[in-house]
Amino acid sequence: MQRVSSAKVVIDGRDVGHIDAGLLVLLCALQGDTLSHADKLLSKLLKLRIFSDDAGKMNRSLQDLDGCGAQGGLLIVSQFTLAADTSGGNRPSFTQAASPDEGQRVYDYFVAQARRSHGTVQTGIFAADMQVHLVNDGPVTLMLQVP
């Protein structure tokens, strides 16, 4: 995930999702990931204190921004390439990624739960060829995994 000043997803020259300040979430389901994993990841993501407070310290979460009169957005984009294994040669292997059907099931669930838990949620389109435009704020980029 990346803390952004703005981000958008473009497919075939058309904006399909965009946010102002908030988090761009590049989501990858691995083999064995469950809906419980998605719940834990979303909970962590919404509470992670990576936004600046009045003193300039990373002390506010996306949820805290909502309480301050600001609305931090979530832009959720499926990205199975995060499962790439490059240890064996020059061509990445994606055998650790969930199957497309299972990946979409986890992605759709995660998006639905995010929409229930947070005000501003935008997405790309699962398995589409997307261009993601972003202004990374900080820059702050973190990889989240849950047990």
CATH number for the domain that contains residue 55 = 3.50.80.10
Q: Is residue 147 in some structural domain?
A: no
- Find the domain containing 72 and state its range: 2-133
At 64 the pLDDT is: 84
To which H or E segment does residue 36 belong?
Answer: helix 35-47
In this structure, which amino acid lies at residue 10? V
The stretches in the chain having pLDDT less than 70 are 66-70
Look at residue 68 in the predicted model and tell me its pLDDT. Answer: 58
Contact 18, 7 (CB under 8 A): yes
Residues contacting residue 106 through CB under 8 Å, at least 6 positions apart: 29, 33, 34, 35, 37, 38, 98
Q: What is the phi/psi pair of residue 41, to 5°?
A: -65, -45
Count how many domains the chain has: 1
- Residues forming a β-bridge with 22: 4, 73
pLDDT at 67 (0 to 100): 56
Residue 112 CA to residue 131 CA, distance in Å, equals: 23
pLDDT of residue 107: 98
The pTM of the full predicted model, rounded to 2 decimals, is 0.94
Q: Per the domain annotation, does 68 fall within a domain? A: yes
Tell me if 66 is assigned to some domain: yes
| 106 in a structural domain | yes
For position 137, what pLDDT does the model report? 95
Counted residue by residue, the chain has a size of 147
Please tell me whether the peptide bond between 139 and the residue prior to it is cis, using omega within 30 degrees of 0: yes
Other beta carbons less than 10 A from residue 108's beta carbon: 14
Secondary structure (DSSP) of 51-119: EE-TTSSEEE-HHHHHHTT---EEEEEE-GGGG-B-SSSSS-B-TTBPPHHHHHHHHHHHHHHHHHH-S
Q: What's residue 140's pLDDT?
A: 96
pLDDT at res. 100: 96
Distance from C-alpha of 102 to C-alpha of 142, rounded to nearest angstrom: 24
Examine residue 138 and state whether it is found in any structural domain, yes or no.
no
Q: Indicate which residues carry an active-site annotation.
A: 79-81
Q: Is 44 inside a domain boundary? A: yes
23 belongs to a structural domain: yes
Identify the pLDDT of residue 115.
Answer: 96
Is 18 inside any structural domain? yes
Residue 65: its pLDDT value, please?
77
